[in-house]
Every structure is written in structure tokens, then in C-alpha cells.
Chains A and B, each alone.
Chain A
């Protein structure tokens, strides 16, 4: 089976008036189909840039990047991925339903089919009652759930998420994480998830990719062996804390070995 994402020696240089800034250098990364991978690191480590390269919102300066064996542009045009950003980015003049239907509408899906799919998606994210509401009538967490429903609209086999829970309070955030684990298990999609919260990365991922800044590189990859069933109880489990410690130490550059974690 082809990998969802395959990056070999990918680099990105932004040229501005004040000179050239190397945002990413020598990125080697693969994300298997159905795998949940988080990118974590301090601001300026290029984790969002890497996500944008995969999404073909920017193009790499060097290296080779494929999405399901195609160029990112082909993958984007074939709608192989769904995307969600830190801002929900809902269109304020459209109802919740119309927002979820947007990608389907743009790709010529018929009215009836759109309505059925939107209904499914809204019940998936628990917002059936808010179908007719406008975005400004919803809380930040609810808006973000609409954005996630929208990103799933076309049943993508890859989900790209750029700090989708970054603007949410801790409680909402944890609830959304639990929901996301469930949704991903149901859809079987691979996920590339950008975050700067260590517990979030650990709770969600099968692997956590730790990045360091100036220039953005991958400094460690931490596999999280916490199993596939991840409920609220896991957050208080010793193995969870051990994994959090492992990622934290990888971020700070000190290697550790702990239970539930095997560092490579």
C-alpha cells in the first residue's frame, strides 16, 4: 500500500526583501495509510510550513514530496486530503449545513446527496441541532467541529490539521481530542496533525515527530505505543505520562527510555 505522505530531503526557503529564510531543511518523513502522526515543536520550527507543502498551499524548494504516490498538486486536485486550520474558517454568510456542504458543492455533488452527507457529518460531530444556525451563533469549539465535519465531507484518506484545537479551552480541547480519535478510527484516514501541545500529540498519535527551529528539521520521532483504544482514562494512566515525558525530553534534546515508549 502506498504511503499517504512520503518526503525525501524536503526543504523550503522563503525569500523576502531582507534576504532568504530557510524554513525547512532535509525533511525525511513517511506517513503510512491510516496512521496518525503529529508534528510538534516550538514556534518557527516549520511544522505548519511542512503541512502547507503537503497540502500544496506552498511548494518545496528542494527535495521530493509525494502524497499517495502523486505530486501534492495532483493529490490536491484529486481531493485526496481534507484540511482544517487553527481558525475554523467558516463562511459567516452560510449556515452550518451550507458550510459543511461547501466542498461537495464546489465539486458538483447533487443537492440531495449533499444534504444527506451533511446530515451524517453533523451527527458525527454532534451538531445535528445546529444545522440551520450561522457560525456566529456557535461557540469556538462548535465552529471547529463544523470545520472538522467539513474536512471529512469528501471521505478523504488523508486529513491535514494545523492546530485545529489551538484556540480552544482545555476542557473543550480534551473532549474534541477524544472525538477526533473516534472519528479517525471510524473513517480510517491517515492524519498529519500540527500542534504544540505535548499531551495532545501523545493522546492522539501513533508517532510524534519532534521538530527544532532555524532551520526547521526533524530532531526525533517518538512512537507512541498506547494501543488503538484511547479513552478518557488513558489521560491518567502511567504509560501516558511516560510517553509525555519521552516527547518532552525529545523536544529538549535529552534521550530517555520509559515504560510504554520505545525511542528510536
Chain B
């Protein structure tokens, strides 16, 4: 590891450790009650105890996020391609995307639970898809509109078909924008999936575990699941970042 890389990692890790130490000292020193704020050691104790449960809950939530993210992104990318090619489709789709982006998931989740029944994962995956749609659609569409005039002239000179233009120029040029959208979407997708679990239904996800632990006054355990949720969010964020880097490298970026 180079000196620069060490510096990049050491500083934030150090800050985290210091914060944890302060937290521990504060809880123990001031005698804070566990239901107000459990100490880091108590949380880790619980985490070790319920680790298999955190793992399976994270897997269940992660699966919902993944399916929702893929479905939402694929639909959004398709819609953006259509909107970029036809003005009429654009006037239809852009307001829809705006409407979806302001739709409150707290309102949507209970309604979908009723629609699909409480034993189905579909409502959660749908909530995630809805949340993912808007950022991916908006960014992808912006990217698709970035075609340089010189490239447009060139492809016309080659008598390229609309399909060839989309494949060789428009989509590769839009990829950096798509990844910006995906990066925003991946973090909000994890939040949406967990929030959707707060509204009943299956009890297998991180959100369900957090609410049930809290309602049983098992605060340290609730925090252990919160820790799992943070890690899950990081996994998705880093995964999209890695994907973005890999594509950029293939494109010579």
C-alpha cells in the first residue's frame, strides 16, 4: 500500500475509533440508561450473540434491494432511451418520473402490503424499484442528450441507422451519467427497503428486526441490526462504485 493510500484510510478509521471511545466513555461515565443509548461494547456483545440472525436478515433485505434495484434501473434505462428518441414519450415520461420521485414510500409501503398480502416480498421490491426509477431515469436521460454535434455529424455521414447511433455513440456516452444515477439510487434503495419493512409483512428483514427488537426493549440488539443496515448500505454503495470504476477502466477513463 502506498503512503497516500495509507493516509486515505488511516484518517477516517482513526476518527471512527476516537468517536467510539468518546461514546463509550460518555455512556459509562455519565451513567446513561441502556434504553436511551447503549454503549458500543454492549452493541458489539449483542452483535456477536445475534450474528447469524443479522446475517440472514441482511441477506433477506439485500435480496429485496438487489431485485428492486435491477428492476427499477432496467425500467428506468429503457424509459430514458425511449424518451431520448421521441419527444412525445419524453413529455409523457418525465412528469411520471417527477411524480415517482416525490411519492412518499411511507405511504406506498402499507398500500402495497395490502395489495400483495403480508407474506410476499413483492411490495418491498416494488417500493425499492419506485425509489430507484427517478434518479436513474433523470441521469440516464441527461447522459443520452450529451451527444456531441461532431459525433452526430460523423454518424450521419456514415449513414448509420438510429439503432446503430444509439449503440455506438449515445449509450456509451451516457454511461458515466448512468453510474451517477445508480450511485444515488443504490444508497436510497437500501433505505427504502428497510423503511418498507417497518410496515408489517414478513419478519425476515433488517427493518423488521429493528422494530421488533426495539418494541421488546432490546435496545442494544436493535442497534446491532442498525449496524448491519449500515454495512449493507456500504456494500451496495461500494459495489456500484466498483462497477463504475471497472466500466471507466474498460472505456479508457
Contacts and interface: CB of A to CB of B under 8 A. Distances in A.
Given A57-B153, A57-B157, A85-B150, A106 B164 contact: yes
Contacts of B95: none
Interface string B153-170: 111111110001000110
Nearest to B159: A77
Given A77-B159, A79-B159, A106-B158, A91 B150 contact: no
A134 B159 contact: no
B172 interface: yes
Contacts of B245: none
Interface in B144-188: 148, 150-151, 153-160, 164, 168-169, 172-173, 175
A136 interface: yes
Nearest to A137: B252
A121 to B, nearest CB: 16
A136 B158 contact: no
B251 interface: yes
A59 B20 CA distance: 70
Interface residues on B, range: 20 to 34
Interface residues on A, range: 20 to 34
Interface string B220-237: 000000000000000000
A76 interface: yes
A103 interface: yes
A95 B253 CA distance: 11
Contacts of A83: 153-154, 157
A55 interface: yes
Contacts of A255: none
A191 to B, nearest CB: 15
A93 B172 contact: yes
Contacts of A57: 153, 156-157
19 contacts: A52-B153, A55-B157, A76-B156, A76-B157, A77-B159, A83-B153, A85-B154, A87-B148, A87-B150, A89-B150, A89-B151, A91-B168, A92-B253, A95-B252, A105-B168, A106-B155, A106-B160, A106-B164, A134-B252
Nearest to A85: B150
A111 interface: no
B153 A91 contact: no
A85 B153 contact: yes
Contacts of B164: 106
A180 interface: no
Contact of A89 (B154, B160, B172, B173): B154
Interface string A119-154: 000000000000000111100000000000000000
3 closest cross-chain pairs (CB), A and B:
A134-B252, A93-B251, A89-B150
A7 interface: no
A52 B157 CA distance: 10
